[in-house]
Structure 1
Amino acid sequence: MELELIAEQGNNPRDDSRRIQSAINNLAAAGGGSLHLRGGLFQSGPILLRSQVYLIIEEDTVLSFIPDFDRYGPVWTRWEGVECWAMHPLIFARDSENLGVKGSGIIDGNGKAWWDFLRQSRKEGRREPKHPFEERLAALNPTYRTQPSGGGGRELQFLRPPLLQFFNCKNVEIFDVHLQNSPFWNTHLVYCEQVHIAGVTFQNPHDGPNTDGLNLDSCNQVHIERCHFDVGDDCLGLKSGSGEDGLRVNRPTESVLIENCTMQGGHGGIVIGSETAGGVRNVTIRNCQLDETDRGLRIKTRRGRGGTIENIQLENCIMRGVLCPLVINCYYGPGGPPPEDPIFSRSPQPITVTTPLIRDIRVHSLKGEDCKAAAAFIVGLPERPIENVHIEDCVFTLSENTDHPPSEAAMYRGLPLPAGRGIRLRNIRHLQVKRTTVEFPARTQEQKEPFLIEDNVEDLSIEIETSVPQV
């Protein structure tokens, strides 16, 4: 069944929420079909998508969301790795199947009002809920003060919504649309399976707080292809819950294929973590191009996050102008305690259920050009070193002109400053490097050491050539 809505013309503000939601409900009641939005600008509050229904945003059409915080009432979801009550996503689907969002038009989250409100709250130094929409969530989440946060502002209970969220859904398709200006994460898939995302543009301004592009959260059987990312935080994230709550749910993100994507800007290109309690495994990333993201392949976790990250493969990727192409970081700092906390200790700590484990990482045919801070950062925990890392047929070329010190390769706490811009290694068991080159600029006084072996690196096999080009 096909339904069509034509945008109303005129300059007067209007609200198309009821028209859109009524059409979706009618399609669902009739057994499913597609709702086509065409002909200009639609303005809406939150939308609930249903099983067997596809929302189609046609060319030259914009679906724009009204930034009235009170309209996005509480829903039970997962927010920064913890199940809780948070604001209703702009487009939301729960416990549904055979559904999706398609078309060559634009979905605009009008995020600026949300970002400005958060910035003002931080400028005021607020650490507690104040406004009615915050106090309402605080009352529903009585233990929020003890819940972990990745830095999005849980202490305020201003739990901003993603632009698009599918929660516990099956057979999800997102094709070709342009998704921009999300209040929080752009697109968030939680507990979903059999997902196909192709030809989508995820776009947010580079200063938009916590505006990740696409986050897969305890999902499986996911194929992402031919997508473009240009966002204010991580481009594409793989997550599985945080700390004790993530362990309770215990659902991994697994069986993910990411290919032929481009990434421009953002704190990380393909990012695993930092919410990893349920584990992330069996991920293949191939034939992607990253330009000026802060990091390339970025695995970030720390004590207390938990989970096993394993069988991650990066193949035939090009990264240009990034701070550091390859980061595996078990001392990830943001949202954590001060550097002197035992979480960031360089001494072995007791192994618990919340001690993360990283193993079986293969990086093949990676070309890192104009690396601004360092070639690579691979740092595990002393009590649980990273296991089985294979780097083959890679080239890392360090930038000749850079204002970024080696310490900016990864966002960490508790570690000493690095000695140079080579491949930093600490707490690793079995590292094999073959046919790999680290190229340093000729006109530099810095240390030209390809490997910075700091502590507790066992079973190291190296076939590496240090190249100093003549400029």
Structure 2
Amino acid sequence: MTMTLPRVLPLLLLLLLSSLLPTRGGESYAAISCRKHSASLVDFGGVGDGKTSNTEAFRRAVANLSGYAGDGGAQLVVPAGKWLTGSFNLTSHFTLYLEKDATLLASQDESEWPHLAILPSYGRGRDAPGGRYSSLIFGTNLTDVVITGNNGTINGQGAYWWDKFKKDELNLTRPYLIEIMFSDRVQISNLTLLDSPSWFIHPVYSSNILVQGLTILAPIDSPNTDGVDPDSCTNVRIEDCYIVSGDDCIAIKSGWDEYGIKFGMPTRHVIIRRLTCISPDSATIALGSEMSGGIQDVRAEDIMAINTQSGVRIKTAPGRGAYVKDIFAKGMTMKTMKYVFWMTGAYNSHPDPGYDPKALPVIQGINYRDIMASNVTYSARLEGIKGDPFTGICISNVHIELSEERKKLQWNCTDIAGATHNVTPVACHLLPEKEPAIDCPFPTDRLPIEDVQLKTCSVPYNYVR
């Protein structure tokens, strides 16, 4: 049957108008879990003008979507726009998805940041003895949580907090950008994170953490803007991240002095790979200084450090107790560094006078290999603890090119023990050249977090109302 022209025109007009309307959703992404239900922040009163507070919109959305946890879970989509918000909590079996050109702007109204108790493994706040502000995005006792996007942005607008910190005007510890506590199966991926008030990502007392494809940026003089800080966590995978920071790009922690010792929850089984770090005043990867629950089995490979103070740095002191052991790093490239290797047993920052100076840490089984470094001021500063030496240090196949401003003493070593092979400049006498030749170990087994398979998920065109 042939349509007459009057009957065809309305259909053609409808198709034309549909092609001109903006398309919502339809993006695909990789995640540990896909969700059966979806909604937009707009559905809960969100306004993306960069001025209107969306704190209550986020809280309403999460409260509503938590009802789908037992029915395939839900995802909350943040469309393109600028979404000003204070702190809000996540829920289990939930995905927060930021579309391309979506930006979360952290509120600078302190009333929109709830107060939290101090962490039990720290015994006090990091900035002040009292409690702390909730992170911008927070969750506790959760299972199966995803924070991701199509390279959407979370901007912590941290300058407000940095200024108060520098003026000693804070009674509580500054917020982190993202903190997840006592949780399992957490993914944070494919986002740009800017200017956190303090640490950017802080998984604590949690397991099975996947951090992928993040760009993390803060001014190099911003205080304590660590990139990713796994803290008393097990099975952590950090990969394909680019970090410019005012502090350590990655800092692995497990509690502070007597509080961390009592809490007794180590960080174990961490893999870090394909990381690029720029941090002129801090480390590419730091172990400690809060390590009083223990740190064991950290594997770093394919690491690039540019204009960064040090490579892998161990920070501890009498009073910390516990251990840092079975640490492995290989395939590191460093350009313009103050130190290639740095370990210190005199990082004397304590929560209070109640720490036990006889609680000595055990530092052993530290393995570095296949490292190229150029424009270096100081090859190594390795300072153990008198009566408690750092042992089992292995360094092999390392070539360091020195800067014109090089230190005359290139290897400064005290209270350590170990061996080296094929290292230039030649190491100190406490790390003698090993014969026959050695190649420092790197584990060949796979951690469980490495075998987590991601699913292809989508942001549908039609949202739950």
Q: Which of the five TM-score ranges fits, normalised by the shorter chain?
A: 0.7 to 0.9
Larger Rg: 2
Q: Tell me, which stretches of 5 or more residues in structure 2 are unaligned? A: 1-36, 126-130, 437-465
What are the residue-to-residue correspondences of 1:110-129 with 2, within 5 Å?
Answer: 110-121=157-168
Query: Are positions 1:195 and 2:195 aligned together?
Result: no
Q: What corresponds to 1:82 in structure 2?
A: 123
SS at match of 2:318: coil
Give the Cα–Cα distance (whole angstroms) in 1 for the partners of residues 110 and 121 of structure 2. Answer: 19
CA shift digits 1:136-166 (9 cap, x unpaired): xxxxxxxxxxxxxxxxxxxx53311101000
CA shift digits 1:290-346 (9 cap, x unpaired): 101111111111111121000000011101111101111112256699xxx9x9xxx
Give the Cα–Cα distance (whole angstroms) in 2 for the partners of residues 334 and 304 of structure 1. Answer: 10
In the alignment, residue 285 of structure 1 is paired with which amino acid? A
* Offset, 1:421: 3.5
* Offset, 1:462: 4.6
* Offset, 1:215: 0.5
Q: What corresponds to 2:142 in structure 1?
A: 96
In the alignment, residue 20 of structure 1 is paired with which amino acid? F
Q: What corresponds to 1:385 in structure 2?
A: 389
Contact 2:256/2:350 (<8 A) preserved? no
CA shift digits 1:254-274 (9 cap, x unpaired): 000000111112511000000
What are the residue-to-residue correspondences of 1:237-256 with 2, within 5 Å?
Answer: 237-256=251-270
Q: What corresponds to 1:213 in structure 2?
A: 227
Query: Are positions 1:279 and 2:320 aligned together?
Result: no
Return closer, same or farther for 1:175/1:113 CA change in 2, 3 Å cut-off: same
CA shift digits 1:354-390 (9 cap, x unpaired): 2111000110101121112x10111111211111111
Q: What corresponds to 1:292 in structure 2?
A: 307
In the alignment, residue 313 of structure 1 is paired with which amino acid? F
Q: What corresponds to 1:131 in structure 2?
A: none
* Offset, 1:83: 6.1
Give the Cα–Cα distance (whole angstroms) in 1 for the partners of residues 145 and 77 of structure 2. Answer: 14
Return closer, same or farther for 1:33/1:424 CA change in 2, 3 Å cut-off: same
Give the Cα–Cα distance (whole angstroms) in 2 for the partners of residues 259 and 241 of structure 1. Answer: 24
Give the Cα–Cα distance (whole angstroms) in 2 for the partners of residues 10 and 386 of structure 1. Answer: 55
SS at match of 1:320: strand
Return closer, same or farther for 1:37/1:396 CA change in 2, 3 Å cut-off: same
Pick one of 358, 362, 365 that aligns with 2:367: 362
In the alignment, residue 110 of structure 1 is paired with which amino acid? Q
Using structure 1 for the length normalisation, give the TM-score: 0.78
What are the residue-to-residue correspondences of 1:278-357 with 2, within 5 Å?
Answer: 278-333=293-348, 352=358, 354-357=359-362
Give the Cα–Cα distance (whole angstroms) in 2 for the partners of residues 311 and 452 of structure 1. Answer: 22
How high is the sequence identity, in percent, across the aligned residues?
Answer: 26
Query: Are positions 1:27 and 2:14 aligned together?
Result: no
CA shift digits 1:213-258 (9 cap, x unpaired): 1111000101111011101111100000011000111010000000
Q: What corresponds to 1:376 in structure 2?
A: 380
CA shift digits 1:52-83 (9 cap, x unpaired): 11111111110011112233222235289336
Using structure 2 for the length normalisation, give the TM-score: 0.79
Pick one of 424, 427, 436 that aligns with 1:437: 424
Contact 1:242/1:306 (<8 A) preserved? no
Higher relative contact order (CA 8 A, sep 6+): 2
Give the Cα–Cα distance (whole angstroms) in 2 for the partners of residues 281 and 398 of structure 1. Answer: 32
Query: Are positions 1:427 and 2:431 aligned together?
Result: no
Give the Cα–Cα distance (whole angstroms) in 2 for the partners of residues 306 and 223 of structure 1. Answer: 26
Q: How many residues align?
A: 387
Return closer, same or farther for 1:351/1:332 CA change in 2, 3 Å cut-off: closer
Q: What corresponds to 1:346 in structure 2?
A: none
Give the Cα–Cα distance (whole angstroms) in 1 for the partners of residues 167 and 132 of structure 2. Answer: 20
Q: What corresponds to 1:2 in structure 2?
A: 38
Contact 2:257/2:351 (<8 A) preserved? no
* Offset, 1:26: 1.4
In the alignment, residue 423 of structure 1 is paired with which amino acid? W
Return closer, same or farther for 1:369/1:434 CA change in 2, 3 Å cut-off: same
What are the residue-to-residue correspondences of 1:48-197 with 2, within 5 Å?
Answer: 48-78=89-119, 81-82=122-123, 85-103=131-149, 104-121=151-168, 157-197=171-211
Contact 1:360/1:388 (<8 A) preserved? yes
